Amino acid sequence: MTRTACFILLLAASLASQDQRPTDDAPRPIDDGEKSILAKDLHKHISFLASDEMKGRDAGSPEAEKAARYIRERMEELGVKPAGNDKGYEHKFSIPGRICRNVCGLVTGTSSTLKKEYVVLGAHFDHVGMGMRGSRGRSGEIHNGADDNASGTSSLLELMEAFAKKPAKRSILFLFFSAEEKGLLGSKAWCQRPTRPLGRIAAMLNMDMVGRSKDNYLFIGGINTGLGFEKLIRKENDPFGFNLELHGGGKAPSDNASFYAKDVPVLFFFTAEHDEYHTQDDDVVLINTTDQARITRLAYRVARKVADSSKRPKFKKDDRNAMPAASERGIDHVRRTLGVRLGPYDEKTKGMPIASVLTRGLAARARLKEGDIILTLDDHEAKSKEAVQSVFAIKRKGQRIRLKLRRGSRALKTTLVVK
């Protein structure tokens, strides 16, 4: 494709994105904090962070320093308190040849007792610079990193404004990490030398690559790491109606893994990898700011429920790597564990038809057949492949899954035990 043709396509995408930005098609906000989360503001933040002037925000570069200053100035504007070292906003750490800075801010909780505990909201603001390391595209060109991770950074900036307007009972600790792209170095450095006690962190929510939702899709990992997370996520998603893909694992190639390693319950918000991931084409014009605003508002509601609850979520281990099935680093549990290929959603029966049964897997052992239609799994509607995937990606070995199916005119029930 010629450069002119590429420009025309990107311009068209930009116009489409601009048409979407003010829409904010989501349920009525629950409070003034959520009301402040706007697609147009997300677009403004991403446009700055992912501009050519920022040269891909390589950790420790002058451009990464500009990004850190942009975040710090926003904290000052909102009255967010410094939560870094030496009563400042910065948490410094070194990588070979460079000094890097995490940026840390705090909104103090309203409860005299719960304010001594924290909910961490995090995102990394660095990217791969000119693509000399970590690029899947052409090295030597600017890798703007609009989705990775100007999107997550912009969502965190909006969440910060929301909680500044409407503080929660627990304190909210906003951590903007550098050097994630070099091996989660910023979040690891913070967890090694935390500016607030790790033992007082109730949960950590991580926003990484949340700007490219398609077909109302959203991935959330870490569901098994905090008792009650699955119920909370499903309930808070009801008014938004995202096609959720959930995963139990606390590990991931993102900053939540650093906190999970310290026994902190984590949630990882993500909209999956794409062809532009770690290339020079990850640009602002491809960001879906309308759905990103809805994702950010869902994250706000989840974080607020955790921050306002009288009980902290109890930490539980799940050492699996949480990534979408469609990712090159993900696992398709529908095929590997259930042992089927699914057809498209059947509107008439409101279920997912089994296109074929593999010779190995739970479906073959339970004598499920081609043409059977999965209606529910543990009372959750089988309304997409992601919905089926979610149930199996949360279950551990030895746990049971209750299935309701239709075979022709017959209604069937069966229980599967995960191997």
E-strand ranges in 335-377 read 340-342, 352-357, 373-377
The pair of three-digit structure tokens given for residue 106, joined into one six-digit string: 């705090």
Look at the chain and count its residues: 419
CA 209-210-215 angle, to 5 degrees, is 125
The encoded tokens of residue 362 equal 């739970």
pLDDT on residue 4: 38
Instruction: Specify burial of residue 187 (Cβ count, 10 A radius: 0-12, 13-18, 19+).
Output: buried
Comparing C-alpha atoms, which of 9, 13, 66, 23 is closest to residue 284? 13
CA distance 96 to 374: 53
Shortest CA distance to 26 belongs to which of 419, 271, 296?
A: 296
- CA torsion, ordered 30, 33, 39, 44, to nearest 10 deg: 180
Per-residue three-class SS string for 280-317 = CCCCHHHCCHHHHHHHHHHHHHHHHHHHHCCCCCCECC
Give the pLDDT score at 264: 98
Helix (H, G, I), strand (E, B) or coil at 219: strand
- Residue 19 is predicted with a pLDDT of 38
Whether 74 and 132 have beta carbons less than 8 Å apart is answered as: no
- At residue 133, the pLDDT reads 86
Below-70 pLDDT ranges, the chain = 1-25
pLDDT in the model for residue 25? 59
Say if CB 207 and CB 351 are below 8 A apart.
no
Cβ atoms of 186 and 179 within 8 Å: the answer is yes
Domains and CATH numbers, the chain: 3-308 (3.40.630.10), 333-417 (2.30.42.10)
**Token pair belonging to 273:** 């990898």
Q: Is residue 201 within 8 Å of 120, Cβ to Cβ?
A: yes
Q: How big is the CA angle at 169 (ends 166 and 171), to the nearest 5 degrees?
A: 85
